Amino acid sequence: MNFAFTEEQESIRDAISKVCARFPDEYWLKKDKEGGFPTELHQALARDGWLGVAMPEAYGGSGLGITEAAVMMQAIAESGAGFSGASAVHMNIFGLNPVVVFGSDAQKKRMLPGLIAGKERACFAVTEPNTGLNTRKIKTMARKDGKRYVVSGQKVWISTAQVAEKVLLLTQAEGGLTLFYTDFDRKYIEVREIEKMGRKAVDSNQVFFDGLPVPEADRIGEEGKGFQYILHGMNPERILIASECVGLGRCAVQRAAKYANERIV
């Protein structure tokens, strides 16, 4: 079995490395000290069409697979951007895969192009305080009200909520865990940033939903199947994170070797 990258995959690595080379260490040091979403990197990747690397071509993506996406994310981390750069585009790569797999044609046409083109930013709202990794025990509730749902509850450690226009939201509903992709309407949402020791470029937050109205048309698939649906985004993301760890490790080894060869003893 041949585990070598194909010529196309190597070309992806080269292209991403060239984009990331525009963002030197000084850029990431400033972001890590001062915070602020790395909009410039996000826009640069969007302009070159990389945010839809694994999304269907019919909606503006490239239609490539998880290997190509992993090559891309490894190259971002290896450039020196690390998890600050990689985390900024996670939602664009496989975040809306539940919509791709389980959404209606109308939902795909409405929900996918904006994220693929980088015109919209989304956050992923699943984890809750006092729930840990037991996702089935979340308490945020979506109550049916005619042709809409009304959502109330709390989420925690939600990345990019400071800048998001959309949210992929997992809640309880009458039928069980249910998934929505809807507007991040700040009239009904309070966002409190969590202070961290590092990776300040990508904000982490507490998020409070107070009567957020969600159209029934923004529900993905059926009530009660939300946990099954989100795994189609979370499982490939785990592969991406692993590839980013490899990229960051390679970056560290390269820089350590360079320093060892240059230092004066």
Residue 197's pLDDT band (cuts 50, 70, 90): confident
One CATH from 3.90.550.10, 2.40.50.100, 3.30.56.10, 2.40.110.10 for 121-223: 2.40.110.10
Least confident of 22-31, 37-46, 59-68, 131-140: 131-140
Residue 254's pLDDT band (cuts 50, 70, 90): very high
Torsion of CA 216, 222, 225, 228, to 10 degrees: -100
From CA 197, how far away is CA 75, in angstroms rounded? 24
Sign, Cα dihedral of 22, 26, 31, 32:
positive
pLDDT of 1 over the 80 cut: no
Tokens 């993301």 belong to 237
pLDDT of 3 over the 90 cut: no
pLDDT tens by residue, 164-187? 999 999 999 999 999 999 999 999
What is the pLDDT at residue 7?
Answer: 93
At residue 208, the 3 state secondary structure works out as: strand
pLDDT of 12 over the 90 cut: yes
From CA 263, how far away is CA 265, in angstroms rounded? 6
From CA 259, how far away is CA 249, in angstroms rounded? 15
From CA 41, how far away is CA 81, in angstroms rounded? 10
Give the predicted TM-score (pTM) of the model. 0.93
From CA 180, how far away is CA 215, in angstroms rounded? 9
pLDDT of 75 over the 80 cut: yes
Domain with CATH 1.10.540.10 in the chain: 7-103+229-262
CATH class of 7-103+229-262: mainly alpha
Domain with CATH 2.40.110.10 in the chain: 121-223
- How many other CB atoms are there within 10 angstroms of residue 71's CB atom? 22
pLDDT tens by residue, 97-133? 999 999 999 999 999 999 999 999 999 999 999 887 8
Residue count of the chain, please give it: 265
What is the pLDDT at residue 108?
Answer: 98
Transcribe 21-51 into DSSP letters.
Answer: TTS-HHHHHHHHHH----HHHHHHHHHTTGG
Q: What is the DSSP letter of 114?
A: H
What is the pLDDT at residue 10?
Answer: 96
Mean pLDDT of 53-57: 97
pLDDT tens by residue, 230-241? 999 999 999 999
Mean pLDDT, the chain, integer: 96
